[in-house]
Amino acid sequence: MVNIPKHDSVEAVWAFGDSFFDSGNNNFLNTLIKANFPPYGKDFMGGVSSGRFTNDRTISDYIVKKLGVKDYLPAYLDPYIREKDLPTGVCFASAGSGYDGVTSQIQNVMPLSIQLEMFKDYILKLNRIVGEEAAKHIIKNGVYLVSSSSNDWSISYGLVPVRRLQYNATDYANLLANNARMFFEELYKLGARKLIVFGTPYIGCFPLMRNVFGGIRRNCVNMFNEDAETFNKMLKSQLEYLRSSLPHSTICYVDYFNLSREIIQNHLQYGFEDVDNACCGTGLYETSYLCNRLSPICPNDSKFLFWDSLHLTDKGYKIIVDHALPQLMQCFEGAAIDVENEENMENESILAESSNSVVLADLGGFWCALVTEHKGLEGGKICEVMVVWWQWAAEAKMVGFSDDGGDLKEAR
């Protein structure tokens, strides 16, 4: 478990995006992009094929475990999910999705827009379970994981190149980066304040891409690695903008590209003997239903970086998280205090508005008594009209007080 300062402790984690996080949501979709059958999950909870695209835990599972939140992140669509699991976070990710909605359409999976709708539904359930105030605190203080874009490049711009016919790589990267920014802004509107965003990995060296595009020697495909780098630079630029434009937000970037490149290029240092092929099947192209109970698997998956042709083994994901988490903790240093300050400011604002309304009512009552005393019945009628105006003004914030507690002033 990672050492985390008390004020920075994490109580809940939510995951959005693709198969690097999906813990079983696609099990309940009408799609071919699934992993709820052997040999997937052969090491997960004694051999449960939960829908995770690996032999054991995903990246999001390792993050919640190492943060001390819980052992793994359950899929939100799982009908057997327990109510007590909701306050500590769930997974909304859908394997095969991307920042580009077309990518999700091609594979009939849940785009980020639907994942957002599920999060809204989750918030309603959380309000019912713990109450609105407690739910608001949980939502603002939790951590949000996002991993998308790999399928945009491997599917929509690669294997089913509909987007390559419409955009050059730079323009497509720009489209994805803008879509990513808009998604993060929507998450922020729903209460998210701490985001962990994964970039595109070293995808040109993943077995499937090498087998399809790498020629007879199955070389790493430089084109896809260069496209990933172009996108990652644009993504980081958008994150910089959001850090300055979204108050009280903490947005951390995980350099998945360089982390995965480092492991591939120096694999022996990490205990991997094979980073060219996957453990499942021939190791060249099997993923999802092509990696099934009839597929032979390697005798020792800890020697392989890739479980199937597009996804890492449990060991590979663990190394990624082990290397990323210390930097993430540094990024989040003080973030909890910032969110707490935001909540305090909101409470002070509510108290100030309430105080203004009370003072306005008191002033209105004093003014009425004064007018009625001097004008009699006529003053009383004027008073009735003015009381209605004072109440309306207080509720509509048409009037306020100067900072020094002096005269009333018109609100801007």
Candidate list 19, 49, 50, 150, residue with the active-site label: 19
Which residues neighbour 149 within 8 Å (Cβ) at sequence distance 6 or greater? 98, 99, 176, 180, 199, 200, 231, 235
Q: How many CB atoms lie within 10 A of CB 66?
A: 16
Q: How far is CA 85 from the centre of its chain?
A: 18
Candidate list 61, 78, 301, 308, residue with the active-site label: 308
Backbone angles phi, psi at 312, to 5 degrees: -80, 160
Segment holding 100, helix H or strand E: none
Could you tell me the two tokens for 197?
A: 């965003």
Backbone angles phi, psi at 195, to 5 degrees: -115, 140
| Active-site annotation holds for 100 | no
Q: How many Å apart are CA 143 and CA 90, to the nearest integer?
A: 11
| Active-site annotation holds for 323 | no
Q: How many Å apart are CA 142 and CA 73, to the nearest integer?
A: 13
Q: How many Å apart are CA 380 and CA 206, to the nearest integer?
A: 83
- Is 116 exposed, middle or buried (CB count within 10 Å of its CB: 0-12, 13-18, 19+)? middle
Q: Which residue has the tokens 């800890």?
A: 302
* Residues β-bridged to residue 280: 297
Could you tell me the two tokens for 208?
A: 């499937």
Candidate list 50, 156, 249, 311, residue with the active-site label: 311
| Active-site annotation holds for 7 | no
Q: Which residue has the tokens 């032979």?
A: 296
Q: Just list the catalytic residues.
A: 19, 308, 311
